[in-house]
Chains A and B, each alone.
Chain A
Amino acid sequence: QVQLVQSGAEVKKPGASVKVSCKASGYTFTTYPIHWVRQAPGQRLQWMGWINTGNGNTQYSQNFQGRVTITRDTFATTAYMELSRLISEDTATYYCARDATTGINWFESWGQGTLVTVSS
């Protein structure tokens, strides 16, 4: 079955960067895009961007442009999300999610989430 397993919780200082991983299994990794979605405590879901796991092309939300980088390692079947210049408002749970198709559609499977805390 499809599984997305994310890396563990992180505590970072303001101004630092964080890199979260998402290990995929149970399907052909390069067929389906991976998206990243975050959720601040008590807040709504917020889409950050996605990666075409086949060719590595990415698109990012304007809200994170310039601060977020999504990459993938096809041999490790793992996607990564790096967020730089962290501020306290970046404290949130970050999720990876697999698209159900080869484009941008619905999110069929989700990782368990990674809590990133930004605090001095």
Chain B
Amino acid sequence: QSVLTQPPSVSGAPGQRVTISCTGSSSNIGAGYDVHWYQQLPGTAPKLLIYGNSNRPSGVPDRLSGSRSATSASLAITGLQAEDEADYYCQSYDSSLSGFVVFGGGTKVTVL
């Protein structure tokens, strides 16, 4: 069971907007720790998409955006494209015994 909870899957048609939630607790997101997001294409290593809740590394399109509030965070993808079909993971820091770095369970985005 993951410390950070994500929906197993979301889907949308090309051009639509989808959001992925990441729900934590008072020992991680609720404690004010930042949330980061990664994209993982099949058979490849994760790639950083969003850091510090809402910042995009260079090269990541502005169709992707992140936000955080209270004990949760969200990743939004607008103008959905076929290339967005992948697994997405949120990550944060946890101050409990869970072990410092925690990941969400991952969300599979399917482009219909």
Q: Mark A78-120, 1 if CB is under 8 A from B, else 0.
A: 0000000000000000010100100011111011110000000
Q: For this complex, into which size category does the number of interface residues on chain B fall? A: 20 to 34
Q: For this complex, into which size category does the number of interface residues on chain A fall? A: 20 to 34
Q: Say yes or no: is B24 at the interface (Cβ < 8 Å to chain A).
A: no
Q: Say yes or no: is B68 at the interface (Cβ < 8 Å to chain A).
A: no
Chain A residues within 8 Å of B38, by CB: 45, 107
Given known A45-B103, A62-B98, contact A105–B34 (CB-CB < 8 A): yes
Q: Say yes or no: is A32 at the interface (Cβ < 8 Å to chain B).
A: no
B100 and A105 form a contact (CB under 8 A): no
Chain A minimum-CB-distance residue to B103: A45
Q: Say yes or no: is B47 at the interface (Cβ < 8 Å to chain A).
A: yes
Q: Which residues of B (15-38) have their CB < 8 Å from a CB of A?
A: 34, 36, 38
Q: Say yes or no: is B46 at the interface (Cβ < 8 Å to chain A).
A: yes
Residues of B within 8 A of A (CB): 2, 34, 36, 38, 45-48, 51-52, 57, 89, 91, 93, 97-106
